[in-house]
Structure 1
Amino acid sequence: MFTRLWPLVVVLAATTLAGCAGEPTWLPLGTDRATTLQRLGTPTSTYPLPGGGERLQYSRAPAGFAVNNVDVDASGKVFSIRQELYDGLFDSTIKPGEWRVEDVLRTYGRPFEISRVTSFDGDVWAWHYKSLNNRRLLYIYVDPTGVVDHYHTADELFRDMDSSR
C-alpha cells in the first residue's frame, strides 16, 4: 500500500517545499543577493537604500494582501525582511507631513487603486491587507505636491455579486 502512495507523498512534499522557497519571510538573514533572487524570483520593484544597499520588493498587489521588503546591504547580504501591510506597523512607519510618494512606493509598492474624494484635494492610494483574517484597506492621502497628508484603515466591504436576490 505504501509503495503506491509514495509518488503522491513525493509530489506533495516537493510542492510544499517549492511554495516555501518563494516565501520571502522564510529566507534566512545573511543570504546573498544572488541566492535570494534564485529562491524568490524577480522582485516586483527595487529601490536603492542609504549606504549603498537595495530593497527587493515582492508585492502580491493588486489582488494580494502582502508586500514583503527584503533589504540587502552594500555587501550583498540580506539584513532585513518585513511584511509591511500590518496594522501594528502603520503608526510607526507612515510619516504624514514628511513622507513623499517615493517613500510610500519604497514601503508599500504600487497601490491597487488611486482615487479622489471631494473632501480632500489630492489622491487617495489604497492597498488590500488582512488583519486577523479580516479583509482591510489601507488608504494613504497624498496632497498635490506629493506629500503624505494622512492615512486611515477601514474594513473592506463586499457587495453581493448576485443581483437577482
Structure 2
Amino acid sequence: MAARRFGSLAALGVFAVAGLGLIAGCANEPTRVQPGATAADTLQRLGAPTGRYPLTGGGERLQYSRMPAGFEVTDIDVDASGKVVSVTQVLSEARFGYDIKVNQWRQNDVMAFYGRPYEITRVSSFDGAVWTWRYKAVNERRMLYIYIDPTGVVRRYHTGDDLDFDRIRD
C-alpha cells in the first residue's frame, strides 16, 4: 500500500514539474508580448533576440527566430521611447504578397524582416542566391524562397512544399 501511494506521489510530482515547464515555456513565447510593454521587460522575459535592426523614427526591431529547425520568426517593433508597438509572426502566406517588395528590397531588408534563412542555395535558372525559410500553413510544412540577384536586390519569391520533410516522412 505504501509503495502504491509513493508511486502515485512520484507520478504527481512528474506531472507538476512538466506543468511548470509548460508554463515557463509560455512565458518566453515571443508572440505573447503585448504592445505597450517595455523593451527592457521584453528582453528580460525573452532573453537576447536572434537579431536587432534599427527602424525609421529611432525605434528598433527585436527579432526572435526559430530557424533553422523551427517555423516561426517573430518581429517585435519597439518605438524610440522603448515601448513595444507591434508583435508579428512574419512567416505567414497571408503576409508574403503584402510584405515582400520585389525589385525594391535589398538583402539587408530581407534580413531585417525575416532574419537569417534556413538555407542559402543556388539554382541554374537564376543568377543569384535563393534564400529559404521554413514555415507552417495550416499545419503543412512549407518553404518560402526569396531570389536575390548578385547586386543584392530581391527579384522574385515563391512558396512550395517542404520536400525535405516529405522525404523523411516517406
TM-score with structure 2 setting the length: 0.88
1:89 corresponds to which letter in structure 2? R
Aligned residues: 161
Give 1:29 shift: 1.1
More helix as a share of residues: 2
Provide the rounded CA distance (Å) in 1 between the counterparts of 2:23 and 2:40: 19
Of residues 64, 68, 90 in structure 1, which corresponds to 2:96?
90
Per-residue deviation, residues 112-140 of structure 1 (Å, max 9, x unmatched): 11111111111100001110111100000
Residue 160 (structure 2) aligns with: 154
Give 1:9 shift: 5.5
Gaps of 5+ in 1: none
Moved over 6 A (4+): none
Residue 110 (structure 2) aligns with: 104
Give 1:15 shift: 1.6
Of residues 109, 114, 118 in structure 1, which corresponds to 2:120?
114
- When residues 161 and 82 of structure 1 are mapped into structure 2, their CA distance, relative to the original with a 3 A threshold, is closer
Gaps of 5+ in 2: none
Matches within 5 A, 1:75-86: 75-86=81-92
Larger radius of gyration: 2
2:57 corresponds to 1:26 = no
Provide the rounded CA distance (Å) in 2 between the counterparts of 1:78 and 1:133: 29
TM-score with structure 1 setting the length: 0.91
Give 1:11 shift: 2.5
Residue 137 (structure 2) aligns with: 131
2:79 corresponds to 1:73 = yes
2:115 corresponds to which letter in structure 1? G
3-state SS in 1 of match to 2:76 = strand
1:135 corresponds to which letter in structure 2? R
Query: What percentage of residue pairs aligned between the two structures are identical?
Result: 57
1:159 corresponds to which letter in structure 2? R
Per-residue deviation, residues 33-90 of structure 1 (Å, max 9, x unmatched): 1110111111001000001100000000011100000111100011100000000000
Provide the rounded CA distance (Å) in 2 between the counterparts of 1:136 and 1:31: 32
RMSD: 1.8
Provide the rounded CA distance (Å) in 1 between the counterparts of 2:25 and 2:103: 40
Residue 36 (structure 1) aligns with: 42
Of residues 42, 53, 57 in structure 2, which corresponds to 1:47?
53
- When residues 7 and 102 of structure 1 are mapped into structure 2, their CA distance, relative to the original with a 3 A threshold, is same
